[in-house]
A and B are shown apart, each in its own frame.
Chain A
């Protein structure tokens, strides 16, 4: 009997993507209408929605927290101040600006969640672009892509890397030793693409006024308090899970947002309503919808069956299996949120290794760490596919959506096709570089 239910999910999701790609309808509305169709067909129930939110590992809280903190900091003029300082360091040179952006985003994203980092860095990038008299859409898209790639630099750089690292039983140090180099490669690959894809920015030269000075910080005491809130949030991101009563990053984001709102309310800078009004709810709702779709798609069990197909196709050829995972998970991750995709792919990868009898079936559970070293390239390939594949499309990663949402709020709408012009070449080059890295790991 055909599984009409599964086909309905694929057709509706495909239809939503098509509507977004062809710009037929607002993307958030398209995503919501698709979910409504699934409700009417009795395919999605409340438990699925809850499961989707659980599977997202608190992404929505991270986004909300980042947006609120960034918005609270805005009236202090700190972004203009830092932006001007950054501009002075670039010396009005577009090439230097892009290269420094690579360094700045890589450092920030190695410790902060990608989308949160984009929210905090976006005002600086936009400020510099305006001074350089170049469009900010390209640099913003690159900032999002950089943030996705830089997440691979450390074990805690991205929820997906953390999940895979945990499944492999890697410590922070082991990750740096065995996997981080691949992340460095993925970031470096972007540099030679910049003169090609961001030609106008790369060639931009502006003579900065000799008296260019950072604008003074408005309301300095409020600014200090807001920065303390930001520092608290970042500190909790880094060490919150190791304190006696662990605070996970999404909870840290909510704590940060609450303290920031308290600060702006107490200082009577502006009503809290204004701050909440400026939160990019449209992007948050869209990401929520995408999580629901991923939950539905993984529920069809389509990924679980792939482990047997991989076993039939590649048998014990781990290099080919790794290349297959890199490509296939990369493609899937281009259209679906990477966290649930990676969660499903971890089971699939483990299932393949169990079928190969490299590990016992207990390896499918949590806490198994006795992975043979030969299995590392397979996991790494899957992780790189899941993380870097998200760069391909506008909807592939929450950082992309946030970047595009910020561009829209600044008056420059980014279409699905516009994003693809940057996303496709970048993703192809990054996956190719990752393939070389995976091949080296198998030697």
Chain B
């Protein structure tokens, strides 16, 4: 018996050690678990047939295409704002794709790391069209609904001080409560990320609450992908997939091109890009061909944006800072 126990014990302590924890777990369970927004058009929403759409959903699909070679192998968990980090830290999800602003404070205090912006937005204000308010100055002394636990509370104080305005902030617990307060006239305006206001505008039309989003973006919010600090190699993998999407746009590799038979009509730039990403496949915990699979599954970054947040999507937002650096935007890919 002693010999048998000793032999079994030795087997356990000599197990192979591969890349990161998270990627191995994802492969073992053949499923990527993603935390996403709760019913936000353009970001993550389920239709009446149960089909998901949105930029967060697409990015999770891209990660599954890279890690599991199948975009369908994802489990999407809609998370409320106050539940997002608990789920990530408690290993309920592998990746938080849910609308979350990147801050140094969150990285230093919460034990999380941001893999890079999925998109860049900023704080904006929405009012009722009949109120005759056309700009920020029109909101002087107005009551403004702000969601608790967001970066907007600090931003609005800074904005008021900077512009010499005065706001009466009304802090509310959730999105629903904010719009309820807005509908009943308890607050004159609601402040949120421009993307979320655009999503609310889409939903507001359906609920009979028309919205006007005031011009101007009053903060810079890097809406980033979040992972646990405990597994930096998973951070690199997520960052690699995000960079592949942006690089693909930079070199003109579209989803349609990537779906064609491998090598057919690939430009030199595309061949170099795919060659470099393949060379890194093992160290990223992925299999060769991962970058092509990602682009074939969801398109390049530009396609991803336009389909969900841009002209072809429900929100109709301009790309603004989400353009590539060469086009005057802020997006650039980390070189491979």
Contacts and interface: CB of A to CB of B under 8 A. Distances in A.
Interface of A: 1, 3-6, 26, 28-29, 32-33, 35-36, 39, 41-49, 51, 281-282, 285, 288, 292, 298-301, 303-305, 307-308, 311, 344, 347-348, 350-351, 354-355, 357, 360-362, 364-368
Contacts of B2: 281
Given A29-B8, A298-B91, A308-B86, 16 more contacts: A1-B30, A1-B73, A36-B8, A36-B12, A39-B12, A47-B18, A47-B24, A49-B12, A51-B21, A301-B87, A304-B86, A305-B92, A344-B90, A347-B86, A347-B89, A355-B86
Given A6-B29, A357-B149, A307 B5 contact: no
A299 B25 contact: yes
Contacts, number: 138
B15 to A, nearest CB: 4
A66 to B, nearest CB: 20
Contact of B83 (A48, A351, A362): A351
Interface stretch (B105-113, B214-222, B320-328): B105-113
A347 B112 CA distance: 14
A348 B86 contact: yes
Given A3-B31, A4-B29, A28-B5, A354 B82 contact: yes
Nearest to B149: A361
A361 B12 contact: no
A175 B314 CA distance: 55
15 contacts: A5-B25, A26-B1, A28-B5, A32-B12, A35-B8, A41-B28, A46-B13, A46-B14, A292-B12, A301-B93, A348-B86, A351-B83, A354-B83, A357-B173, A364-B85
A32 B21 CA distance: 22
A45 B149 contact: no
B261 interface: no
A46 B25 CA distance: 12
A6 B5 CA distance: 26
B110 A365 contact: yes
Interface residues of B, number: 45
Contacts of A51: 21
A362 B89 CA distance: 12
A35 B14 CA distance: 13
Given A5-B28, A36-B11, A45-B15, A348 B90 contact: yes
Contacts of B90: 301, 303-305, 307, 344, 347-348, 351
In the A-B complex, list the 8 residue pairs whose CB atoms are closest, starting with the nearest. Answer: A304-B90, A351-B86, A5-B29, A301-B92, A304-B92, A46-B15, A32-B8, A46-B17
Nearest to A311: B83
Contact of A49 (B15, B80, B111): B15
Nearest to A6: B29
Nearest to B148: A357
B292 interface: no
Contact of B17 (A45, A281, A361): A45
Contacts of B73: 1
B4 interface: yes
A299 B91 CA distance: 6
Contact of A361 (B11, B13, B110, B173): B110
Contacts of A364: 85-86, 89, 110-111
Contacts of B149: 357, 360-361
Nearest to A367: B109
A366 to B, nearest CB: 7
A122 B9 CA distance: 27
B157 to A, nearest CB: 16
B201 interface: no
A3 B29 contact: yes
A43 B28 contact: yes
A153 to B, nearest CB: 30
B82 A29 contact: no
Contacts of A367: 109
Contact of A365 (B33, B80, B109): B109
B16 interface: yes
Contacts of A26: 1
A51 B87 CA distance: 19
A423 B73 CA distance: 44
A362 B87 contact: no
B12 A365 contact: no
A365 B107 CA distance: 10
Interface in B17-50: 17-18, 21, 24-25, 27-31, 33
A309 B4 CA distance: 43
A27 to B, nearest CB: 11
Interface string B81-103: 01101110111110000000000
B1 A45 contact: no
A44 to B, nearest CB: 7
A355 B5 contact: no
A208 B212 CA distance: 93
B168 interface: no
A285 B5 contact: yes
B289 to A, nearest CB: 22
A35 B13 CA distance: 11
Contacts of B21: 47-48, 51
Given A42-B28, A46-B16, A32 B9 contact: yes
B11 A354 contact: no
A325 to B, nearest CB: 15
A303 to B, nearest CB: 6
A47 B85 contact: no
B75 interface: yes
A39 B9 CA distance: 12
A403 B208 CA distance: 69
B15 A39 contact: yes
A49 B12 CA distance: 8
A36 B14 CA distance: 12
Given A45-B17, A298-B91, A282 B75 contact: no
Contacts of B15: 39, 44-46, 49
Contact of B31 (A1, A29, A33, A42): A1
